[in-house]
Amino acid sequence: MNQENPGNVIEIKNLRMYFPITRGLLRRRVGEIKAVDDVSFAIKKNETLGLVGESGCGKTTTGRCILRLYKPTAGEIRFNGTDISGMNENRLRLFRSNMGAIFQDPYGSLNPRQTARTIVGMPLIVHGMNDKRQQNNRVEELFKLVGLDASMMTRVPHEFSGGQRQRLGIARALACQPALIICDEPVSALDVSIQAQIINLLEELQEKLGLTYLFIAHDLSVVQHISNRVAVMYLGRIIEIANSRELYENPLHPYTKALLSAVPVPNPVIERKRTRTVLKGEVPSPAAPPPGCHFNPRCNLATPDCAESSPELRDTGNGHQVACFKVQA
- The pLDDT tens digits for 72-128 are 999 999 999 999 998 988 888 888 889 999 998 878 889 999 999 999 999 998 888
- Alpha helices (H) along 3-115: 59-66, 89-96
How many whole angstroms separate alpha carbon 276 and alpha carbon 233? 20
Q: Report the percentage of the chain scoring pLDDT > 90.
A: 64
Burial of 70 (0-12, 13-18, 19+ CB in 10 A): middle
pLDDT over 90 at 181, yes or no: yes
CATH class for the region spanning 8-98+178-322: alpha beta
Q: Which of 65, 55, 76 is nearest to 259 (CA)?
A: 55
Can you give the residue ranges of every domain in the chain?
Answer: 8-98+178-322, 112-177
Q: According to the 3-state scheme, what is the secondary structure of 240-307? A: EEEEHHHHHHCCCCHHHHHHHHCCCCCCHHHHHHCCCCCCCCCCCCCCCCCCCCCCHHHCCCCCHHHH
Nearby residues of 235 by Cβ (< 8 Å), 6 or more positions away: 37, 57, 58, 283, 284, 286, 289, 294, 295
- The pLDDT tens digits for 201-252 are 999 999 999 999 999 998 888 898 899 999 999 999 999 999 999 999 999 9
How many whole angstroms separate alpha carbon 112 and alpha carbon 165? 11
Of the chain, the end-to-end C-alpha distance in Å amounts to: 36
Q: Are 94 and 85 in contact (CB under 8 A)?
A: no
pLDDT of 4: 57
- Alpha helices (H) along 31-111: 59-66, 89-96
Name the 3-class secondary structure at 327: coil
Could you write out the DSSP letters of every residue in 6-32? TTEEEEEEEEEEEEEEEETTTTEEEEE
Single-letter code of the amino acid located at 116: A
Strand order in the sheet with 314-315: 99-102, 180-184, 212-217, 48-52, 229-234, 237-243, 321-322, 314-315
Provide the Cα torsion 150, 151, 155, 161; round to 10°: -80
- The pLDDT tens digits for 279-329 are 888 888 899 999 999 999 999 888 888 999 999 999 998 889 999 998 876
- The pLDDT tens digits for 131-165 are 888 899 999 999 999 999 999 999 999 999 989 99
Residue 188: CB atoms within 10 A of its CB come to 14
How many whole angstroms separate alpha carbon 115 and alpha carbon 121? 10
